Amino acid sequence: MTHELHSWVASANGHPDFSLHNLPLGVFSRGEETPRGGVAVGDFILDLGFALEAGLFQGEAQRAAELAGQTTLNAFFAAGTQARVALRQAVQALLRADHPQREHLQELGEHLLVPQGACRMYLPARVGDYTDFYVGIHHATQIGRLFRPDNPLLPNYKHVPIAYHGRASTLGVSGEAFKRPKGQTLPPGQDVPVFGPCRRLDYELELGIWIGPGNAQGEPIAIGDAAAHIAGFCLLNDWSARDIQAWEYQPLGPFLSKSFASTLSPWVVTVEALAPYRRAQPARPEGDPQPLPYLFDEHDQAQGALDIELEVLLRTPRMEAQGLPAQRIALSNTLNMYWTVAQMVTHHTVNGCALRPGDFLGSGTLSGPDADSCGSLLELTQGGKQPLQLPGGETRTFLEDGDEVIFRARCQTPGLPGIGFGECRGRVLPAG
């Protein structure tokens, strides 16, 4: 039996991403209008500002809509779970097929429901800080095996959620292109580095996490409370310059190889929308250490994992010229995370570090155990030794100018229609 919510917005019924079971939030504009908050429903965006002017929300939902309708979602994220739930329930009720005023709502037309195709999307929030984790154990193992065949995982990996501080200034939204980065690299067989465009440009398939209320400096977030500080999720492509990274990463880790561009999908899929797709955290292999007490919570272990299918597609300029669709090159899942999101949040704050509303976390590359589930070209091509075969005889070891990478994500569970994240799309431009 399928418990599906039906809408008077026809395109929402059966929509692969944005049915009434999802209702993600984002920031959009049409033409020269000021950016403002909205909710994705079918092929449209519910304009929260107009809905407020039309008196469609009352009470707590009205206050939540006022926060979510601003030019960024930071204030809405800060309001926490109660505001998200109030707005979600009100929007669901407003859009249901059995709403008593559906004819009046339909008459509001594009003032209330703006076609997505007519809109520009923005980063949903002003990001103060961005931290990228490394919780995809298959990625960590496969990358480690390329460089350290006898010791692929370093000893700390299974004890502590590894992360580094990223660069918030170069986070961009889906659809934007970026220039191939330049930097220092050390060519094979040489002792002196050279400067020039990156030659081993890669993507990284990640889950993005938006922080909600956050914590005061010096007041760590306990593992049992961490879920209340997570506002929602998106897709993240953490573009990587592998040759620059190989030269610079010792002893302090990534720097210019990661800070030139990261692409986010524009819609924030809320914690509430993902509730039906929560799963038990996969059991650790026999012999692996259990998390230290500050990272262990029974409820988090029972419900802290997410079952989200992740897809990577690639389209080259030649494929585009020939009218060929993007080709799927990988299919993975967030169940490949060795640490839960709650564990990431708790560890981030255990030393007293403050997280603020709108801060952003990346999961790290979420590869699966098989070749067709690799979340980066570095793994998929074995460091460039086994080229990827594409339609028309093309091959790729790493990304070339004009290549477009597309991420998609879907959630499915018995008895409910699936929901999706929309696309995370980015294109490589020649170096400046």
Contact 180, 429 (CB under 8 A): yes
Q: Which residues contact 161 (CB under 8 A, 6 or more apart)?
A: 133, 134, 135, 295, 339, 343, 344, 347
Q: CA 353, 126, 24 angle in degrees (round to 5)? A: 105
Pairing of strands 278-279, 305-306: antiparallel
Structure tokens at 375: 């979340």
**Dihedral of alpha carbons 173, 175, 176, 180, sign:** positive
Contact 339, 109 (CB under 8 A): no
Based on the residue annotation, tell me whether 138 is a catalytic residue of this protein: no
Q: How far is CA 32 from the centre of its chain?
A: 28
Q: State the catalytic residue, choosing from 138, 139, 347, 348.
A: 139
**Residues classed as catalytic:** 139
